[in-house]
Amino acid sequence: MSVPLTFEGKVVLVTGAGGGLGREYALAFGARGASVVVNDLGGDIKGGGKSSAAADSVVEEIQALGGQAVANYDSVEDGEKLVQSALDAFGRIDIVVNNAGILRDRSFGRTSDLDWDLIHRVHLRGSFMVTRAAWNHMKNQKFGRIIMTSSAAGIYGNFGQANYSAAKLGLLGLANTLAIEGSKYNIHCNTIAPTAGSRLTETVMPPDLLASLKAEYVAPLVVWLCHDECQETGGLFEVGGGWMGKLRWERSQGRIVRQKNQSMSPEGVREQWDQICDFTDATKPANIQESLNTQVEVLSKLDSDEGVAPNPTSAPSLVQPNPTSASPSVSTGINPAEAVGQKMSETSFSFSQSQCILYALGVGMSTSDPDHLHFLYEGHQDFSCLPSFGVIPAQAAMMDGGLGSVPGLDFDFTRLLHGEQYLELFKPLPTSGTLTSQATIADVLDKGSGAVILLDVNTYSGGELVCFNQFSLFIVGAGGFGGKRASDKAKPTAAAPDRAPDAVMTDQTTRDQAALYRLSGDWNPLHIDPSFAAMGGFQTPILHGLCSFGFASRHVLKQYGNNDPARVKTIKVRFVKPVLPGQSLQTEMWKEGDRIHIQCKVEETGALVLTGAYVDLHPAPDTSADPPAQTGSLQSELVFAEIGRRIKAQGAELVKKVNAVFGWEITKDGQTTAQWTIDLRSGSGALHQGPYSGKTDVTFTVSDEDFMEVVQGKLNPQKAFFSGRLKMRGNIMLSQKLEVILKDYAKL
């Protein structure tokens, strides 16, 4: 049996709790340890009259069962008084269930002002007054649970209930916004549309149905939604008869009705009506952001040479907030003739090993994966900087180099979206030092309703080019200046092959992923400040697009690049959708020669976040040499020859057990006279003689004689290590796995 949901220490206010559904909620909360304020005006169903009897009798019921409750007889229109009752009796308010209600059904033509006003006053205004009175208490204590009671009549409409439907759906709108505003204070707000037999429904439902749709079948949903364990917010649920389900909006793919350089017409709407209303492949926007993204994307496609996109599906990634303010026609100061070729001021970027490590942590590396250690530990013999770190100095150059003051680029920065990123590495990045970067406006494109700036950044170390970045920046509303649409300077994306991915790697981001990543230099408050994110239409701060870029590229590095940063040549991605910290990033990979096509999804929602992406790798160093011919000059050669034979025979099994690369330097008279590498990480393993161009996990240096004593079991390797006869560099813990390789050599 699961742990029961209890409400010890919590204070619940249920409005209209003198009967029907409200009474069931009050009893359920009382039975589970909450202190309950039972509010009821005690009037008739049309809102007339007043009595304390209804609330009193429910209070008595709760108390008789051992619970705590007080009555309140005010109308919900006096919201402050209801909340004051909770504070007077119990000192706090945690949960508000807005349930009180009346009916004044009339066919629409006969609906009087009073019918309209009374319904709105009790349902919509009453819920507003009560909730507002509780809001600041909830905010201060960083906990609150609010229920709004809507109705199927509001969602779908119902004959004779125009006043009631309007108020009931108004409550959903109210709840949607409270869920957004409350999220950073742990205030959750959900809406239910119940069905239950009560005095409100006894005239509209047959008696046997009334009896079977018990109010007690609705209460469990309300209780769960109000528990601090429940993370649901902004949800709408239909519930009744023991069934419950969640509702969401669905939207057709729609149609672009406006044509390039033409005004819109109602005839154009008529012509496309069937498609506008066709729900095939409908989308389900979950928030205002997702709703508006489609329209922002349409604006970027419209008026372009691509013409009308029949099925707008994806949206540009937003690295800057405020796409909500996007509008198609802003006057723009974009002048490519002036801007293209402009160089921004050279910037310098000094960094230490700490920044490399901080960045690696920011893109999700963890000491829980031993392969990550050489990116996280400066003492590691192979300590390296992740290749994707190359975007960091370039981004600093973009921000500090004065993009805003480039002649011919006069635009509103709040309309800037990060569209694509390309990174090319010419040599592995250093792990500390000073890099200089020079940004150039490579091209400016006119996409109709938006402009694309291609910003090329070269980054140098000691005068030598280490990497090149191209940022594709989309400026919403800044197009239409008569510029060209495409550019041969643009680094193109590449579509993934049309088959199931060859490999998939998933990593869950942490709740603090964006908070950590921003320390690498992207200080946009969109990624940390909930109020700022809310202004951009996001429920929570979002992850940096370049953080997902870092996750995806290190997935490729692990899967196909043996975690060797020298293997990465280029990385290209298109940002499609934001990721929320805490979600899991899933990278799908397709190997086509040295090009690894990738696309990245949010595992929980299936939403694509990076598309058209790829990583180009340098070919792997050749480690597949045959076991060497024996020269007989060193005794250890016999052992290595045998190891080579065993790898040939059972390599795959050994790779599974060991998963590491061991280097050996065998000395004779103090000089290294032989080098061996046992690769038990890739394929079915390999033994390599001589200098090794790849990377080893651990390297041992030992004399030929001591090596033989160790393999024959005469010398304990640990003793040899502590006495200095055996030296180790790298991940010394891996020496424990040596046993698997050297086992039974004593019998040689």
Q: Are strands 660-668 and 698-703 parallel, antiparallel or unpaired?
A: parallel
Question: CB of residue 136 vs ligand NAI: minimum separation in angstroms?
Answer: 22
- Judged by CB under 6 A, the stretch of 11-19, 266-274, 293-301, 561-569 that binds ligand NAI is 11-19
Binding part of the chain for ligand NAI, among 36-44, 258-266, 354-362, 577-585 by CB under 6 A, reads 36-44
Among 12, 13, 14, 21, the residue binding ligand NAI under the rule CB under 6 A is 21
115 binds ligand NAI (CB under 6 A): no
Q: Cα–Cα distance between 539 and 316 in angstroms, integer?
A: 18
Residue from 85, 111, 131, 151 in contact with ligand NAI (CB under 6 A): 151
Spatial contact of 489 and 468, defined as CB atoms under 8 Å apart:
no
Strand order in the sheet with 568-575: 347-351, 433-446, 450-461, 464-476, 416-425, 568-575, 608-617, 595-602, 584-592, 503-508
Measured from the CB atom, is 95 or 639 closer to ligand NAI? 95
> At 467, which helix (H) or strand (E)?
strand 464-476
Residue 367's CB: how many other CB atoms inside 10 A?
10
Nearest one of 286, 279, 283 to 298, comparing CA atoms: 283
289 binds ligand NAI (CB under 6 A): no
Q: Which stretch binds ligand NAI (CB under 6 A): 83-91, 197-205, 303-311, 733-741?
A: 197-205
Q: Closest approach of Cβ 211 to ligand NAI, in Å?
A: 13
Residue 16 touches ligand NAI, criterion: CB under 6 A = yes
Question: Cα separation of 138 and 189, whole Å?
Answer: 12
Number of residues this chain uses to bind ligand NAI (CB under 6 A): 32
- Angle, CA of 590, 594 and 597, to the nearest 5°: 30
- By beta-carbon proximity to ligand NAI, the closer residue of 45 and 494 is 45
Choosing from 40, 446, 564, 588, the residue that interacts with ligand NAI (CB under 6 A) is 40
Q: Measured from the CB atom, is 81 or 301 closer to ligand NAI?
A: 81
Q: Does residue 222 interact with ligand NAI by CB under 6 A? A: no
Of 164, 217, 422, 692, the active-site residue reads: 164
For 190, list phi and psi in degrees, rounded to 5. Answer: -125, 160
* Residues contacting residue 683 through CB under 8 Å, at least 6 positions apart: 624, 651, 652, 655
Q: What amino acid is encoded at 376 in this protein?
A: L
Q: Are strands 144-149 and 95-98 parallel, antiparallel or unpaired?
A: parallel
- Which 49-108 positions form the footprint of ligand NAI (CB under 6 A)? 54, 75-76, 99-102
Longest dimension (CA), the chain: 110
- Asked whether position 129 contacts ligand NAI by CB under 6 A, the answer is no
Question: Is residue 195 part of the contact set for ligand NAI (CB under 6 A)?
Answer: yes
In the complex with ligand NAI, the residue whose CB is nearer, 149 or 586, is 149
Instruction: Compute the radius of gyration of the chain from its Cα atoms.
Output: 34
Closer to ligand NAI by Cβ: residue 198 or 317: 198
The C-alpha atoms of residue 353 and residue 624 are separated, in whole angstroms, by 34
How many angstroms separate the CA atoms of 89 and 96, rounded? 15
* DSSP character at residue 124: I
CA-wise closest residue to 430 among 520, 350, 347, 548: 350
Is 164 labeled as catalytic in the residue annotation? Answer: yes
Segment contacting ligand NAI (CB under 6 A): 35-43, 224-232, 383-391, 498-506? 35-43
Q: Minimum Å distance from CB 121 to ligand NAI? A: 8
Among 175, 200, 358, 496, binds ligand NAI (CB under 6 A): 200
Here's the x/- map for ligand NAI, 458-487, by CB under 6 A: it reads as: ------------------------------
Q: Which residues pair with 667 in a beta bridge?
A: 672, 703
Q: Quick one: which segment of 13-21, 27-35, 565-573, 725-733 binds ligand NAI (CB under 6 A)?
A: 13-21
What are residue 149's phi and psi, to 5 degrees?
-105, 110
Q: Which residues pair with 418 in a beta bridge?
A: 473
Rounded to a whole number of angstroms, the minimum distance from the CB of residue 242 to ligand NAI is 14
Please tell me whether residue 198 binds ligand NAI under the rule CB under 6 A: yes
User: Of the candidates 30, 67, 79, 126, which one interacts with ligand NAI according to CB under 6 A?
Assistant: 126
| Interface residue with ligand NAI, options 30, 79, 170, 194 (CB under 6 A) | 194
* Shortest reach from residue 286's CB to ligand NAI, in Å: 25
In angstroms, give the least distance from the CB of 54 to ligand NAI.
5
- CB 420 to ligand NAI: min, Å: 49
Q: Which is closer to ligand NAI, CB of 20 or CB of 565? A: 20
Identify the DSSP state of 371.
G
Smaller CB separation from ligand NAI, 126 or 144: 126
Q: Which residues of 79-103 are buried (b: 16+ CB within 10 A; e: fewer)?
A: bebbbbbbeebbebbbbbbbbbbbb
Alpha helices in 302-423 (DSSP H): 336-339, 353-362, 373-376, 391-400
Site for ligand NAI in 394-413 (CB under 6 A): none
DSSP string, 592-642: ETTEEEEEEEETTT--EEEEEEEEEEPPPP---PPPPPP-SSSTHHHHHHH
Q: List interacting residues with ligand NAI (CB under 6 A).
A: 15-16, 18-22, 39-43, 45, 47, 54, 75-76, 99-102, 122, 126, 149, 151, 194-196, 198-201
**Enzyme catalytic residues:** 164
